[in-house]
Amino acid sequence: MSGKTPCAVGINLGHDGGAALVTPEAMIAIGEERLNRTRYSPGWQAALLYCLRTAELRLADVDLVVVSNFGRAPATPADTGLLHLGVEEGRIHVLDHHLSHAYTAYCLGPYDVATVLVADGAGNNTDTETFYLAGPGGIERIGGNDPSRGRHGGIGATYEAFTEYLGWYAQEAGKTMALASYGDPSAYLAPLFDVHDTRVYGRLEATHARGVAALAAATGFDFGAAGSRGDDPRGIDAAAYLQAQVEQVLCTLVQAITSVTGVSDVCMAGGVALNCVANDKIRRLPGVSGLFVPPPASDRGQALGCALYGLHQLTGELPRRPMVMDSFGRSYTDEEIELALHRDPRSGLVERRFAPFIWRRESDIAVCAAQMLADGRLIGWFQGGSELGPRALGNRSILADPRSTASRDALNDRIKHREAFRPFAPAVREAAAAHWFDLDSPSPFMLLAPTVLDGAKERIPGVVHVDGTARVQTVDPAVSPRFAALIEHFGTLTGVPVVLNTSFNDREPIVETPADALATFQASDLDALCLGDYLVEKT
């Protein structure tokens, strides 16, 4: 790759830190947590080095470095920490947090002209909800929240506050969404939000868990014991109440902003956009003709949005990179995989006959994996470049048989060590999806939760949530041929062209390298690991 090619780097300075590199020919991005193995990690140095090495570039070849943060943006280039690396002030640009999200949503989406909604816990200053009109000419901010309310009144901040009250980190809002399906949303009747024109007014008067405690005191609601983590029925009802209120306010807001822009194709980003249950309702609204949410919709996508903005500034053309899969990481060669297979992470290189596992190269790893799944085995599946978003989509996955709840329970108890109320996702060949789910369009990124059709629920109980929905991933053979082949072979063996798909990790970040995959495999009760073309089993 020539250094004369316009090249922009993006960096996220906040939680879920990371880096991205974009040129007219390439997009590379990774979160810092995938490399330092610490969940939700801030930082970007290792991620930046990863992107540069993958692109075979030096930092001196980069024309523009764009950085973002949440809360207070860096006041000067010196505050970014880049000057000590030799990056001159003229090559550093500080970007608004929500505009970075908007670039990710629009540039990766399929629509020439779109209404863009960014909704998250916090942007710069007090931004919580912001909307834009995006087209080939640029991305124009049309409106947003009322700054006088502060971010505690926002949709994302409210969801984070309840999540923290229930006993989890703010970034673990997916647990609250899953828990909500077990509760009664009508247990509490006061609205959490009002929408006036296109502005959201939240009822919380403080951030974090204390805002929920204050609301309970003011209304007389009993949300249960703080920190209950799903063990208190009142907390379960609180989660259901929150989810119902968020679905309602998002639908109202989307209808309001599309009536202002006059554009019915919608792109969404920000952490709130990962709420797949709400997304499924938004896509069905009468005034919405299409909905796109990028898989790295949360701050995991900040660096990529910054880099896309940077390329726009360098070339004068808004980069359009419609996504077909969430694979922004590098692939690993057979030589790198074999090196990992020969290396004991505790003591260096070991002879193959002394390794704690056996391995062999398979002529068709998809056929082999399908047979193992049909036999009830739990397998790690490591292929191609890693996903940037929080959900594994067939590159860094753990796979299981969805035809019974036994695999689901084994995954929760023995592998993932997570709460039993959280569902697992089905991956289905795109052509077969409508026979199993109430789905009339592709869902390649697990960002919709349609209802499982009658007659199908009994056949795939391992991936059906308590409310009868499933967070579906549709798989296109033209995009993911090996993963699609696995699902097809499994369908031939079992009559069910659906597999259970979850992220390849335990309580650490999703694995990135072959060595990471082997370490998690050895430390877990996984039965086998498909590492590229190699099948790995324990001795």
User: Is the confidence at residue 346, as pLDDT, over 80?
Assistant: no
| pLDDT score for 2 | 44
Q: What is the mean pLDDT of the chain?
A: 94
Q: Which CATH entry fits the domain spanning 334-538: 3.90.870.20, 3.90.1570.10, 3.30.70.270, 3.40.50.1370?
A: 3.90.870.20
* Out of 66-75, 340-349, 504-513, least confident range: 340-349
CA 522 – CA 400 distance, rounded (Å) = 18
Q: CA nearest 411: which of 509, 305, 505?
A: 505
Q: What is the CATH number of domain 149-293?
A: 3.30.420.40
User: Residue with structure tokens 């260096």?
Assistant: 348
More confident residue, 479 or 347: 479
The answer to whether domain 8-98+300-315 and domain 149-293 are alike in fold is yes
Count Cα atoms within 13 angstroms, Cβ side, for 433: 26
CB within 8 Å of 83: residues ≥ 6 apart: 77, 89, 92
Intra-chain end-to-end CA distance of the chain, in Å: 44
Q: Domain residue spans in the chain?
A: 8-98+300-315, 149-293, 334-538
In this structure, the number of other CB atoms found within 10 A of the CB of residue 375 comes to 10
| pLDDT score for 123 | 87
Strand-pair partners of 116: 132, 267
Domain 8-98+300-315, CATH class in plain words: alpha beta
- The CA distances from residue 60 to 9, 65, 85, 91, in Å, are 11, 11, 10, 10
If pLDDT is split at 50, 70 and 90, which confidence band does 70 have? Answer: confident
| pLDDT score for 344 | 57
| pLDDT score for 225 | 96
Mean pLDDT of 270-299: 97
| pLDDT score for 73 | 79
SS3 384: coil
Q: Backbone phi, then psi, for 2, in 5-degree steps?
A: -75, 145
More confident residue, 50 or 153: 50
**pLDDT tens figures, 222-277:** 999 999 999 999 999 999 999 999 999 999 999 999 999 999 999 999 999 999 99
Q: CA nearest 398: which of 389, 406, 388, 412?
A: 412
